[in-house]
Amino acid sequence: MRLDQRIATSSELSRKDARRAVISGRVSVNGTRCKSASTHVRERDQVVLDDRLLMLPGDLYLMMNKPAGVISATTDSSQPTALDLLPADLARHVHIAGRLDKDTTGLLLLTSDGQWSHQVTSPRRDCAKTYRVTLAEPLPDEACVMLEHGVQLHGEDKPTQPAQVLVHSETTIELTIREGRYHQVKRMLAAVGNHVEALHRLSIGAITLDDTLAPGQYRALTADEISAIREPG
Ligand code: URA
């Protein structure tokens, strides 16, 4: 859609006033000032008018590259949370769909749509989550096979469901799981006698972390990414 149209859709400005705002230099797209009202913007582009991030009407769907050191809670007075990395008027409307540990980095989904986040987190949806796991020790073949078949976690009744392991190097693997048990990846590796040194979430279902996002940055999800979670399977 054209930039002036996008501004009119997501602010109180008329199309004519939106055009004037652009020409007078009040608007930036993805951090760069833009003075052409006919510029084509995509849904995921961040349009800022006078320091105000303009959101399209309707529910909000974001991905963030979560940095280490922030917790995945809505509010916490003592520790920084992922929501503190968003502008306040955005943070007010969204919650986290699928938490990560404080030291885990990578793909975090945030939304205002409770039904959609339920699709991400519901055990009945079996949404696949892929992690890059850096290990303390090389992973023997037998341990890989055990992870793939399912391992018994300390203090739990049932073994984990089958997982996929892709070996990148002696101490780096990609692990795909379809459950979301407490500290699951770290406990799975502990169950095979190893230790997770670093954990980074690469994808959830068909949504892959945008590699142009630096730690702490976020962007709106595209319509395709939003509907990929809605579609069954
Ligand atoms: N598994 C973990 O152990 N930690 C995370 O943050 C995510 C999955």
Contact (CB, 8 A) for 229 and 116: yes
226, pLDDT greater than 70 = yes
- How much is the pLDDT for 233? 44
Per cent of the chain over pLDDT 90 is 72
Q: Is any atom of ligand 1 closer than 6 Å to the C-beta of 104?
A: yes
Q: Is any atom of ligand 1 closer than 6 Å to the C-beta of 3?
A: no
Q: Do 61-123+208-230 and 128-204 have matching folds?
A: yes
**Residue 167 parent element (H or E):** strand 164-169
Ligand 1 centroid – CA 186 distance (Å) = 6
Q: Which atom of ligand 1 is nearest to the CA of 103?
A: 6
Tell me how far apart the alpha carbons of residues 140 and 147 are, in angstroms, rounded to a whole number.
11
- How much is the pLDDT for 125? 83
67, pLDDT greater than 90 = yes
Ligand 1 centroid – CA 174 distance (Å) = 13
Q: Is any atom of ligand 1 closer than 6 Å to the C-beta of 186?
A: yes
SS3 assignment, position 49: strand
- How much is the pLDDT for 56? 75
Q: Annotated catalytic residue: which of 101, 103, 113, 210?
A: 101
Kindly report the CATH number that applies to the domain delimited by 128-204. Answer: 3.30.70.1560
Residue ranges per structural domain of the chain: 3-53, 61-123+208-230, 128-204
Kindly report the CATH number that applies to the domain delimited by 61-123+208-230. Answer: 3.30.70.580
Tell me how far apart the alpha carbons of residues 41 and 72 are, in angstroms, rounded to a whole number.
31
Which amino acid does the sequence have at 92? R
What distances in angstroms separate CA 166 from CA 6, 161, 177, 192, one per listed residue?
42, 16, 12, 16
Out of 3.30.428.10, 3.40.720.10, 3.10.290.10, 3.40.1050.10, the CATH code matching 3-53 is: 3.10.290.10
Does 101 qualify as catalytic in the annotation? yes
Distance of CA 217 to the CA centre of its chain: 10
Q: Which atom of ligand 1 is nearest to the CA of 201?
A: 7
Q: Is any atom of ligand 1 closer than 6 Å to the C-beta of 183?
A: yes
Q: How do residues 93-108 score in pLDDT, each as one tens digit? A: 899 999 999 999 999 9
- Among residues 154, 205, 145, the alpha carbon closest in space to that of 181 is found at 154
230, pLDDT greater than 80 = no
Ligand 1 centroid – CA 45 distance (Å) = 30
Phi, psi at 184, each rounded to 5°: -60, -45
Ligand 1 centroid – CA 168 distance (Å) = 19
Q: Is any atom of ligand 1 closer than 6 Å to the C-beta of 177?
A: no
With bands split at pLDDT 50, 70 and 90, how would you rate the model's confidence at 33?
Answer: very high
